[in-house]
Amino acid sequence: MAVQKILVTGCAGFIGFHLSKLLLNDGYEVLGIDNLNNYYHPKLKLARLNQLKPYKNFKFEKIDIADRNSITRSFRSFKPKKVVNLAAQPGVRYSLENPYAYMDANLIGFLNIIELCRHNDIAGFIYASSSSVYGGNTKIPFSVDDRVDKPLAFYGATKRANELIAYVYSHLYGLHTTGLRFFTVYGPWGRPDMAMYIFTRKILAGIPIQVFNHGNMKRDFTFIDDIVEGIVRVADNIAKSNPNWDSTNPEPATSTAPYRLYNIGNNSPVGLIRFIELIEMNLEKKSIKNFLPLQPGDVPETYANVNKLMDDIGYSPSTSIETGIEIFINWYKDYYKV
User: Residues near 203 by Cβ (< 8 Å), separated by ≥ 6?
Assistant: 209, 279, 280, 283, 285, 286, 287
Give residues with Cβ within 8 angstroms of 258, minimum separation 6: 170, 174, 175, 176, 177, 238, 239, 240, 241
C-alpha distances in Å from residue 284, one per residue of 128, 171, 326? 35, 54, 12
Output the DSSP codes for 216-278: --EE--EEHHHHHHHHHHHHHS-----TT--TTS--TT--SSSEEEEEES-S--EEHHHHHHH
What is the rounded distance in angstroms from the CA atom of residue 32 to the CA atom of residue 178? Answer: 19
Report d(CA 163, CA 231) in Å as an integer: 16
Q: Is the Cβ–Cβ distance between 61 and 74 less than 8 Å?
A: yes
> In this structure, are residues 241 and 31 in contact, taking their beta carbons and an 8 Å threshold?
no
Q: Which residue out of 134, 155, 262, 315 is catalytically annotated?
A: 155
Is 40 marked active-site? Answer: no
- How many beta carbons lie within 10 A of that of residue 310, not counting itself? 15
Q: In terms of Cα–Cα distance, which of 260, 262, 182, 196 is closest to 227?
A: 182
Q: Where are the beta strands (DSSP E) in the chain?
A: 5-9, 29-34, 58-62, 82-85, 124-130, 177-182, 185-186, 209-211, 218-219, 222-223, 259-264, 270-271, 289-291
Question: Quick count: other Cβ atoms within 10 Å of Cβ 311?
Answer: 9
Q: Catalytic residues, which ones?
A: 155
